[in-house]
Amino acid sequence: MSILIAFLSLAVERTLGYPDWLFNAIGHPVTWIGRLISFLDRRLNRATDSDELRRRRGVQALLVILLVPGLIGLGLHVLLWMMFPTGLVIAAILGSSLLSQKSLAEHVEEVADALETGGLTLGRIAVSRIVGRDPEKLDKAGVARAAIESLAENFSDGIVAPAFWTGIGGLGGGAAYKAANTADSMIGHRTPQYEAFGRAAARFDDLVNLPASRLTGLLIVLAAFLVPGADPRGAWQVMRRDARKHRSPNAGWPEAAMAGALGLSLAGPRSYGGEVVEDAFMGEGGRREAESTDIRQALKLYRVADWLLLGLFATLSAVVIYLTIQISGQGASAL
């Protein structure tokens, strides 16, 4: 059932997204998880405590962050399994809330629209909604690169990874992954406030994103074969050469594949909170002067790669259903 839930959740979310009226009415799983993380942060992360104590409390907080949504998701999964097939539809709708295919494309496309209609000023405003770097430090090319990098990285973190872990562990696995990823976003920073307390969250997020980041890179390479003007050979070569140079053990794989497919040089030094973060270039030697047209080409690659992801889960679902029927048939014959 887990693989089927992942496939149907992808199909539902790609078509419908997460409606604004629903968000306004009840919020979103990420906001609920965020409240839990904020509560634990306030209660356990004290500046007066030693780093060793803050690290231990960070581990304790992470366990709570994972177990609460994970166990709720597991309970719902078991309950809905007993309501099959109606429960499968409900599970797919619930699982779709863990994904962000539709909203990711919309937010990145807004950056391209802003650059084309309002220039740098509107471009900076639009890109500030999807990246954490200092927008005032970005020129037009920097805005375009930031949007493309965000698209590549969030394809992995916001779509492939939750689908992967939903396919492995059902609603419980998907919810636990989303909690881990949200914790990394909120407390997994190398700052005096979170260096010790958020260490466990950051390292655990790196671990659970390992398989999805590699799969995302491969999906972008395959998509480059199907998108006119993209370079599949460049995507493969740059991914193999540069992905491991990224300061993140995961973000480099989709970013490098995207850079190679587009002939761009992504990543490199960036400014966050007034501080410059030195990072390796993904696609070193490629163009740095990215434009809105490059964002739109990246979106074409993303959409095709997302279709490939859907096709992968559809195939896996068909195999699981076939094997289930075969095993059930053999069991009936034996009786």
The string of pLDDT tens digits covering residues 204-260 is 999 999 999 999 999 999 999 999 999 999 999 999 999 999 999 999 999 999 999
Other residues' Cβ atoms within 10 Å of the Cβ of residue 78: 13
What is the pLDDT at residue 278?
A: 83
What is the pLDDT at residue 259?
A: 98
The string of pLDDT tens digits covering residues 182-211 is 999 999 988 899 999 999 999 999 999 999
C-alpha closest to that of 7 among 76, 99, 141, 79 = 99
What is the pLDDT at residue 219?
A: 98
What is the pLDDT at residue 205?
A: 97
The string of pLDDT tens digits covering residues 146-171 is 999 999 999 999 999 999 999 999 99
What is the pLDDT at residue 287?
A: 95
Confidence of residue 272 (pLDDT cuts 50, 70, 90): confident
pTM of the model: 0.94
The string of pLDDT tens digits covering residues 8-30 is 999 999 999 988 888 888 889 99
